[in-house]
Amino acid sequence: MERLPISRSLFFNAPAVISLVAASIAAILVYRACLHPLGKIPGPRIAALTSLWLTYHYWRGTWHDDILRLHDKYGPVVRIGPNEVALVDAAAAKQLYGHGKKVKKTNWYSTWIVPGRGRGVFSEQDHNTHSFLRKRVSAAYAMSSILKYEVYIQSCMDLCFEKLRKYAAAGEIVNMSEWTNALAFDVVGELAFGEKLGHLNAESADVGNLRHGIAQLFFVAANLGYVWGQSGLINSNPLVAFVMALFGAKPAMLEFANWTKKKVDARRQSDAPSDREDMLAHFIRMKSIDGDHPASDIEVIAESMNIIGAGADTTSIGMRTCLYYLSLNPTVYSRLQKEIDEYYDTHDLKVPITYQQTQELEYLKAVVLEALRLFPSITYQLPRYSPAAGIHVAKYYIPEGYEVGVSCIAQNRDKAVYGEDANEFRPERWLESKEKNAQLQANNMTFGGNGPRTCIGKNIAL
Ligand code: HEM
Ligand SMILES: *[C@@H]1O[C@H](CO)[C@@H](O)[C@H](O)[C@H]1NC(C)=O
Ligand SMILES: *[C@@H]1O[C@H](CO)[C@@H](O)[C@H](O)[C@H]1NC(C)=O
Ligand SMILES: *[C@@H]1O[C@H](CO)[C@@H](O)[C@H](O)[C@H]1NC(C)=O
């Protein structure tokens, strides 16, 4: 009698296969719900069974509300996935995002790795590679460098205000969501490529569909982070590429990569060495990841595009947040305006105030800190693998290797740190005393803590 190959015999025995699969799924679900090491941690029941729960919530675009409600309901430790826990706890946040900690980013970040596009400082999971990537660009992001670029940032501000004055004079309403976005894109263009991207000049319009394209791409990438195999799915799957193209995402990015390459070529080929000291100049000088020779085009382009991707929307969200809270709080608005007007008067300022001068405006600094505290631009979890000793929070223990994360918005509203009025916009809380200010600053998660993975663009943003 002829023997069937295994696959065919299984195929013909469909009922057996189906029951086997069903039994395995049932076993996994029972394990996740009852026997799992995170089983005692409170949270929504479905979240314990499948990470699709979190994906669904991310996809809804309401996570900034969802995570606050989850912590209100379940407390500072919440199980938000089969293997993931969300925390609000100042001490735990320091363990995960503080100095001297070699805590690893989880696979959620692999969704940002684009094959053939160079390793990114944001998505790199390996500690040593990240260290190298970060060190070779850090001088370009240092405050001393940013101050050198200030003249380019100011030129964008000048253009922006010139345009806005025109609308104000005509009594026309403008959409500040669009204008802050246009301003931020032009600023990062100046820093990363040596020229504005033309969004202010186009009266805040989205030139070349770039902003829309990035938003679509990031929406899909960020929200698929918990789906198994997502990296390949997003970054090398032709079907997904086709669907994204329908949204206008892919051509914009490709065009943009091409455009970036042209800028790099032009800078490399220019005979007269440019005396313009910007980030592109720094990236062209940096060393390659695989040796002593200068970085390849792909690496330079990756760094330049990184700035646009990580820096433009985050910063415009920050500006909108400040404007939003100022508009809703006339008392704060007039106190701030008074502080700025007085500074101009007493210093007889005829030119725009500089960054360093603004550092003398204590109320302005407090307003920015407070607005960014209440709505930090990044509100998703920042997941890390629990370190070797595990993490103890409240009465719970999360063993090594499980995913643990803090959402900046939830930690920034921790009543244990900020008091009962943690959800209120009150810039005065930063001005009560030097000690109180230092303590609050040390605990704000707006830029992802102060450790090795903290926001490298913080100085640009500020
Ligand atoms: C208000 C504005 C901004 C906010 C609130 C912000 C927030 C953050 C946060 C929370 C992280 C940590 C992410 C994580 O752990 O997964 C981060 C990382 C990062 N940010 Fe920002 N960011 C801002 C502006 C910028 C700007 C202007 C740039 C660049 C020009 C930038 C570039 C980066 C990069 C490259 C990383 C990854 C750093 C690393 O892993 O070593 N950000 N940012
Ligand atoms: C302003 O722009 C934002 C961002 O594009 C958009 O969501 C919003 O609907 C606009 N508001 C108005 C009143 O047009
Ligand atoms: C980008 O450049 C490549 C190579 O020069 C070209 O084949 C491709 O069509 C360009 N893509 C876009 C969208 O401009
Ligand atoms: C808190 O925020 C300020 C700026 O808004 C920043 O300079 C400081 O480093 C932050 N603290 C931490 C721990 O990230």
3-class DSSP string for the chain: CCCCCHHHHHHHCHHHHHHHHHHHHHHHHHHHHHHCCCCCCCCCHHHHHCCHHHHHHHHHCCHHHHHHHHHHHHCCEEEEECCEEEECCHHHHHHHHCCCCCCCECHHHHHHCCCCCCCCCCCCCCHHHHHHHHHHHHHHHCHHHHHHHHHHHHHHHHHHHHHHHHHHHCCCCCCHHHHHHHHHHHHHHHHHHCCCCCCCCCCCCCHHHHHHHHHHHHHHHHHCCCCCCHHHHHHCCHHHHHHHHHCCHHHHHHHHHHHHHHHHHHHHHCCCCCCCCCHHHHHHHCECCCCCCECCHHHHHHHHHHHHHHHHHHHHHHHHHHHHHHHHCHHHHHHHHHHHHHHHHHCCCCCCCCHHHHCCCHHHHHHHHHHHHHCCCCCCECCEECCCCCEEECCEEECCCCEEEEEHHHHCCCHHHHCCCCCCCCHHHHHCCHHHHHHHHHHCCCCCCCCCCCCCCHHHHC
Once rounded to an integer, what is the mean pLDDT over residues 295-315? 88
Ligand 3 pocket, Cβ-based, cut-off 6 angstroms = 251, 254-255, 258
Residue 397 scores a pLDDT above 80: yes
The pLDDT assigned to 248 comes to 56
Residue 55 CB-density burial (10 A; 0-12 exposed, 13-18 middle, 19+ buried): middle
**In the structure, what pLDDT confidence band is assigned to residue 98 with cuts at 50, 70 and 90?**
very high
Q: Which of 36-45, 208-217, 326-335 is the most confident on average?
A: 326-335
Percent of the chain with pLDDT over 90: 63
The pLDDT assigned to 402 comes to 96
Ligand 4 pocket, Cβ-based, cut-off 6 angstroms = 369, 372, 441-442, 444, 446-447, 449-450
Residue nearest to atom 1 of ligand 1 (CA): 315
Once rounded to an integer, what is the mean pLDDT over residues 5-23? 71
Structure confidence by residue, pLDDT tens digits, 244-264: 565 555 555 667 778 888 888
Closest ligand 2 atom number to CA of residue 177: 2
Residue 438 scores a pLDDT above 80: yes
The pLDDT assigned to 246 comes to 58
Q: Of the residues 411, 444, 456, 462, which should be mutated to test ligand 4's pocket, given the most ligand atoms within 8 Å of the CB?
A: 444
Instruction: Give whole-number Cα distances, 169 to 205, 252, 258, 374, in Å.
Output: 20, 35, 39, 33
For 343, phi then psi, to 5°, come to -65, -45
Structure confidence by residue, pLDDT tens digits, 121-165: 898 999 999 999 999 999 999 999 999 999 999 999 999 999 999
Lowest mean pLDDT among 23-32, 224-233, 341-350: 224-233
How distant is the alpha carbon of residue 2 from its chain centre?
60
Residue 4 scores a pLDDT above 70: no
CA of 251, nearest ligand number:
3
Ligand 2 centroid to residue 313 C-alpha, Å: 15
Asked whether the beta carbons of 379 and 446 are under 8 A apart, the reply is no
Backbone region of residue 237 per phi and psi (left: phi > 0; alpha: psi in -120 to 50; beta: other values): beta
The pLDDT assigned to 168 comes to 97
**In the structure, what pLDDT confidence band is assigned to residue 44 with cuts at 50, 70 and 90?**
very high
Residue 256 neighbours by CB distance under 10 Å: 21
Once rounded to an integer, what is the mean pLDDT over residues 36-50? 93
Residue 38 CB-density burial (10 A; 0-12 exposed, 13-18 middle, 19+ buried): buried
Q: Of the residues 364, 458, 460, which should be mutated to test ligand 4's pocket, given the most ligand atoms within 8 Å of the CB?
A: 458
Backbone CA torsion sign across 188, 190, 194, 199: positive
Count of CA atoms in the C-beta half-sphere (13 A) of 40: 8
The pLDDT assigned to 217 comes to 79
The pLDDT assigned to 1 comes to 47
Asked whether the beta carbons of 87 and 406 are under 8 A apart, the reply is yes
Average pLDDT, the chain: 89
Amino acid present at 228: W
Residue 115 scores a pLDDT above 70: no
Once rounded to an integer, what is the mean pLDDT over residues 38-61? 95
Once rounded to an integer, what is the mean pLDDT over residues 99-104? 86
Residue nearest to atom 23 of ligand 1 (CA): 314
Structure confidence by residue, pLDDT tens digits, 404-435: 999 999 999 999 999 999 999 999 999 999 99
Asked whether the beta carbons of 210 and 185 are under 8 A apart, the reply is yes
Answer yes or no: is the C-beta of 134 below 6 A from any ligand 1 atom.
yes
The pLDDT assigned to 11 comes to 58
Closest ligand 3 atom number to CA of residue 257: 1
Lowest mean pLDDT among 298-302, 352-356, 413-417: 298-302
Residue nearest to atom 18 of ligand 1 (CA): 455
pTM: 0.91
Q: Give the alpha-carbon dihedral of 449, 450, 453, 458, to 10 degrees.
A: 90
The pLDDT assigned to 76 comes to 97
For 59, phi then psi, to 5°, come to -60, -35
Both tokens of 136, joined, read 């070779």
Closest ligand 3 atom number to CA of residue 251: 13
Amino acid present at 40: K
Ligand 3 centroid to residue 253 C-alpha, Å: 11
Residue 232 scores a pLDDT above 90: no
**For residues 60 and 58, what is the distance between their CA atoms, to the nearest angstrom?**
5
Question: Which parts are annotated binding residues?
Answer: 455
Residue 42 scores a pLDDT above 60: yes
The contacts of residue 399 (CB under 8 Å, 6+ apart) are 37, 386, 390
